[in-house]
Every structure is written in C-alpha cells, then in structure tokens.
A = this chain, B = another copy of it.
C-alpha cells in the first residue's frame, strides 16, 4: 500500500533538520532547532540554587518550561501570561521535557546547580514537543560545557544522549515525524524519547479515533528508532561544529 504524505516525504523520512547553536547571546546554551517549518528556541540557564525539596542532598536539578509565541500558529492563540495560567497541554509538555532531560544526566554529578530549559516555539508545524527535547539536549550540552569551563563542575554529568520524534498512523499507514497537516488528521499519535542505544526514556501513544493494534505499535516504534538514530547524528554534528 502506498500513501501520499502531504509533504511528499517517504513514510520513514524526517523533515529537514537544522540545529543552530548560540542563537542568542545571554544564555549558557541557546539553540534554534528547525524540523521543517517547526522552529523552537531552546535556551539553557544555569543557576547556583536548587529547589527546596533537594536542599542538603548535594545534587542538582533540571527543569523545563515551554511556551508558544501567540502567533507561532495559523490563528493567534491567547497569550498564557495574559490569561494568567498555563494550559494543561503546556504543563504536560514541559513536565515531559523536564523528565526527559533529567534522564540524560546524572543529577548527583551536577553539584548544587539547577539548569532550566526554556523551549519557546517561534513557529509551529507539528512536533513542537519532540523538537523541543531534541534541541534542549544540545542546549543542555552547551550549558554543561560552560560549567566545565567555569570550573563549576569538574566532570560532565551527561549520562546519555537523547532525542525525540513523533510517529503515527496517517491514512492507515505508520509514518515518521508528522507535520501539522498529518498530525491534525492522524488516527494515532505517538511521541517517543530514546537514548543513543535505542533504549526508551518515554513513550506516549494515543489513539485519536480507532484503537491501534500491537502490530501498528511495533511498526511505529521501529520508525521512531530509525528517526531518533538520525536525530542523534544531527545533534552530534551540531555539537562538533
């Protein structure tokens, strides 16, 4: 069976990926990641303080916040700061980003520092949460290198490289890296975060209509594995440049 993706991509084909480091001047890590038309600015901010619940345990913390600029989307969304609260979706996404990046790091090696990853969507075309995670990993690395250079820590606490991609069932077929036209009509949408060895950090799959079968799950996970391996390479190249 052959499907035609709106973008003309093959079922297992990522969108064009670019990762631009040092995008802004002030943050210890600052990365603009583009996955096709989706663009997210990921900054990493190092602070010499830790949350209350970690006081005296000699370890660090990593957390994340996520936002969309009001006109990153096709129709303007209300500004969360003006509405006075973050939506459930926003909180869910930033909790996911934070958990994922904490899994990349040995927090006991971070000292009593915290790193905040701010992922702000400049332009949205599907897959903003997975792009955020993939980009934030690079920003986190730059922040860690900054800390090593400043002798804030003596060895890198990075425990594993991670990246994230979405997969789904579009028109009955498993596809990799859904863009907005696919995402908004897909029957199933799954976000996968893996490390460089193909082990799982997190899997979140949701049937948006008919349930999905065990075979479809297997197929989607295989696509995710392929896509994440490629994203890991993009990250590695960006960090080497």
Where the two chains meet, the residues of A that have a C-beta atom closer than 8 Å to any C-beta of B are 24-27, 30, 37, 39, 41, 43, 45, 47, 65, 67, 69-76, 79-82, 84-86, 88-92, 94-95, 99, 103, 116, 118, 120, 122-124, 160, 190, 194-195, 197-207, 209-214, 217, 221
Pair A123/B24 contact, Cβ less than 8 Å? yes
- A47 cross-chain contacts in B, Cβ below 8 A: 76
Pair B221/A203 contact, Cβ less than 8 Å? no
Q: Given contacts A118-B79, A204-B204, are A199 and B212 in contact (CB under 8 A)? A: yes
Q: How far is the CA of A114 from the CA of B90 in the complex (A)?
A: 25
- A39 cross-chain contacts in B, Cβ below 8 A: 24
- A207 cross-chain contacts in B, Cβ below 8 A: 103, 199-202
- A65 cross-chain contacts in B, Cβ below 8 A: 70, 79, 82
Pair B122/A24 contact, Cβ less than 8 Å? yes
- A116 cross-chain contacts in B, Cβ below 8 A: 70, 76
- A84 cross-chain contacts in B, Cβ below 8 A: 84-85
Listed by A's residue number, 22 A-B pairs whose Cβ atoms lie within 8 Å are A24-B123, A25-B123, A26-B71, A27-B71, A27-B76, A41-B69, A41-B122, A43-B70, A45-B71, A65-B70, A67-B79, A81-B86, A88-B94, A89-B95, A92-B95, A99-B206, A194-B211, A199-B214, A200-B207, A200-B214, A201-B206, A214-B221
Query: Closest chain B residue to A124 by CB distance?
Result: B26
Pair A200/B221 contact, Cβ less than 8 Å? no
Q: Given contacts A85-B85, A92-B95, are A211 and B160 in contact (CB under 8 A)? A: yes
- A27 cross-chain contacts in B, Cβ below 8 A: 71, 76
